[in-house]
Structure 1
Amino acid sequence: MNFVFVSLQRINTDRESTSTSLAKELSKKHRVLYVNPPIDRRTWYSKTNDIYTQAHIQNIKNKKAGLVQVSEQLSVLSPQKVIESINWIPFTAVFSLFNRINNKRFSSCIKEAIQELGFDTFILVNDKDMFRSFYLKEFLKPALYVYLDRDYTIGFGYWKRHGPTLEPLLMKKSDAVVCNSLDFTKRALTYNKNSFYIGNGADLEVFDHTKSWEKPEELKTFKRPIVGYVGALNSMRININLIASIARKRADWDFVFIGEEDENFIKSDLHTISNITFYKKKHTNLIPAYVKYFDVCINPQLVNEITIGNFPLKIIEYLAMGRPVVATATNTMKEVFSEYTYLAITTDEYIEAIEKAMKLDTLNLQQERIQFAHTYSWPSVAKIFLKYINEVAKDKNIPV
């Protein structure tokens, strides 16, 4: 099979996502073209600090080839055409007219790459790119158009104006919708009968507990138990007040947070609490060393429309390193992870769960966590994904 991926996430970064990991796994047996997000006009003129976006813009200015072969069966396209910034348009009907123009411009870059690669037929996988890729089914005419639903993006400001209208329409016209959480699958089924749960995966070659991980220098200064978190510190997902309350009540624990902070986190009182330490985002390959030396790993999420049904990949990564995990009791945590984690909502529940996780941890429990995490490998996810793709293709009498 030939696959073309479009996504909100670039593939050439220091952090993987569902789409980048799935594309890389599929490329072991199939030809894959991964399309990085196009540059829009606003980004072109902004002073972005993202080195990967900067490199993309510079390549366009230098008229470098956008298509690069990164492995035998995986190619990456960084589109050379700039699209317009149109999300400011208040009316969805008007937005859609201009969005179609953007889609046509974007699709022309993909068409050139497809022709260069010699893809006669292909399956197009759209990872949450509900605006820029809304009309790609019409412009590119793939054998199958598959929408990958792996986050509740319409809960965020950028997507709130047009997303609630356009995403359901995109799901309806897709040949299939694949989801990484059970809640997302239930929602997708209301729009498309060919909606399937494929789960999520972790890079178990990176999060390998058998490797000899040296304790990071930054952690060597801590003498008390370390309660740790790794990931984006987004105030719409992570509960600032909960963290502050737990840390103030348990001054005998050190709390370590590794990841990029949003403005609310940066300005929060968390930076004034003596037993809370923040470290900047680390490369994925370095993260297992930190996780290995956390006494307990946490995911102190808020409970809202964004988090209630999402599948937190970090939980698999924590468990793959054998660590005890305490997390907020969202639907996915209760449905998927309840047997292997400790779940809580309030401050007192979190403290009780962390105490329990520290006290009851054993080598046997660590091994059980690791074995469970290994059921969420990318080969497993890819196998399930291909199973449903073949079922839909057979049902529609489409050769793939």
Structure 2
Amino acid sequence: MSNFSLSEFKQLPIVMTSMSRWDGDFSSASWSLAKTFSRNQVIIYVDYPFTLLDFIRERKKPSLKARIPALLYGKNCLTPLTEYHTNLYALTPPLMLPINWLPPGKLYRTLAGWNNRRLSKSIQKGLRKLKFRDFIFFNSFNPLYLSSLPKGFSPKAFVYQSRDNIRALEPYLRKHGAYLEIQAVKNAHLSLATSRLLQTDLEHLSGEKVAYFPNAADFNLFKSAFENEIPLPEELKKLPKPIIGYTGNICHRIDYELVKGICERNPEKSLVMVGPRNHWGHTKLDLDELPNLYFTGPKKIEQLPSYLAHFDVLILPFLCNEVTKSIYPLKINEYLASGKPIVATPFSEDIQSFFPLIRLERDAKSFSQAITEELESDTPEKGTQRYQEASKNTWEGRVSLFWKLINQTFSL
């Protein structure tokens, strides 16, 4: 164990890896946490690595073109993100070998080791450029890389965070990710889980202690939807009111039959979904045929409060299944900060803990009835209660919890 004091730990840079890129289509917990940490110390946020196959598939995208010097030649790997904070940097590693198609075994382990050494050397190069040697390594739910640390890559603290039940996700991730995550938990000095069920599952599977570290919200950003008069976004100007709103990835978690039922039972209302459309392959429904369902496309996190401010009721229409029962959704505290009424399915123990501040219903009939009742019974006092609940679940609070857990782990 390290003989660092807590104050010395707080002076170290944090290197954070995840499955999200800083300039991705939707907000992520890892990126929000990185921005919060950067207010007090240097953060190197590592891009989810591009493989050779990704490079071929995405070579025409502007986001990839901008990274070509780093991906191909190892140049300009470290990008200062001064628009967020002077302490925040993005690191683009070189291209990796696409190996996920391989079965578990010696060949996979050999090539994964090569990828991990390549990634770790890129990180160390970035650290040297900033004149750092010691660091904290925070793997925020990317067990496909650096679940075991190569020789010579020796952080003062190795933290692993699980944010989803990888054992229930799509086959691509769980093929190697399921067992590599357990490896990461066993290797880390400190392991975190964002939901109670994840915490229990990982402790059982790994035999190690895992701390509860729930998601939060950028309260200072999202409270503007409650406190301020914000201009109406252009996409909402001509829509019939009231507006039922959803923000986030439109993906495998959504109950599309429920979405259809909500639309059909509320023909006079508009249902607006703000986020990237990744539903193809997860539903046979043609969502574009629903006349009162509208899509805005992805928005930067900084734009989301302007939509929440003008939605009348917010929904979390998630499926109730193995994937969602271990989710503490990032957006619940963003929703609450806006003060708007919320209706969700009771998909996890964590979401159920917000009752009675939010309504919990399973089927289209009761869900739609709850929407109507919440609209009719909403008051400024209820809005304030929701807002106040969100104020307890901030990323600043989670950073304080992180240091408390580091303190406990290293018995400082």
Per-residue deviation at 1:138?
A: 4.4
Cα distance, 1:13 vs. partner? 4.2
Larger displacement relative to structure 2 (129-138 or 197-206): 129-138
Residues 240 and 268, structure 2, Cα contact 8 Å, conserved in 1: no
Deviation at 1:93, TM superposition (A): 4.3
Give unmatched runs, 5+ long, in structure 1: none
Q: Please list the CA deviations of residues 321-369 of structure 1 after superposition, one character each: whole Å capped at 9, or x if unmatched.
A: 1110001102244443113110111112201211221111000000000
Cα separation, partners in 2 of 1:90 and 1:283, compared to 1, 3 Å: same
**Equivalent residue number for residue 66 of structure 1:** 77
Q: Is structure 2 residue 167 aligned with structure 1 residue 167?
A: no
Q: Which residue of structure 2 aligns with residue 203 of structure 1?
A: 218
In structure 1, how many angstroms separate the alpha carbons of the residues matched to 2:60 and 2:221? 27
Assess, with a 3 A threshold, how the Cα gap between structure 1 residues 120 and 108 changes in structure 2: closer, same or farther: closer
- SS of equivalent to 1:125: strand
Which structure 2 residues correspond to residues 1-400 of structure 1 after superposition, within 5 A? 1=10, 2=12, 3-13=14-24, 15-47=26-58, 50-61=61-72, 64-70=75-81, 71-79=85-93, 81-136=94-149, 138-154=151-167, 155-190=169-204, 191-207=206-222, 208=224, 209-234=226-251, 236-262=252-278, 263-264=280-281, 268-394=285-411
**Counterpart residue type for residue 275 of structure 2:** G
Change (3 A) 1:339 1:107: same
Supply the distance in 1 between the matched residues of 2:218 and 2:48 (Cα, whole angstroms). 23
Q: Distance in 1 between matches of 2:133 and 2:19?
A: 25
Contact 2:255–2:317 under 8 Å retained in 1:
yes
Distance in 1 between residues matched to 2:274 and 2:304, nearest whole Å: 9
Mapped to 1, the partners of 2:301 and 2:42 lie a distance apart of 25
The DSSP-based 3-state class of the residue aligned with 2:259 is helix
Q: Secondary structure at the match of 1:162?
A: helix
Separation in 2, partners of 1:359, 1:333: 27
Question: How far apart are 1:278 and its partner, in Å?
Answer: 1.9
> What is the percentage of aligned positions where both structures have the same residue?
29
Shift of 1:307: 0.9
- What is the CA–CA distance in structure 2 between the aligned matches of 1:184 and 1:137, rounded to whole Å? 27
Aligned equivalents of 2:332, 2:71: Cα separation in 1? 38
Unaligned runs of 5+ in 2: 1-9
Once the two structures are TM-superposed, the CA of residue 174 in structure 1 deviates from its matched residue by 1.3
- TM-score, normalised on structure 2? 0.89
Q: Which secondary structure state, in structure 2, belongs to the residue aligned with residue 91 of structure 1? A: coil
Counterpart AA for 1:305 = E
Question: Helix, strand or coil: the match of 1:34?
Answer: strand
Give the CA RMSD over aligned residues: 2.1
Could you tell me whether the CA contact under 8 Å between 2:117 and 2:150 is conserved in 1?
no
Does the CA contact (< 8 Å) of 1:231 and 1:260 recur in 2? yes
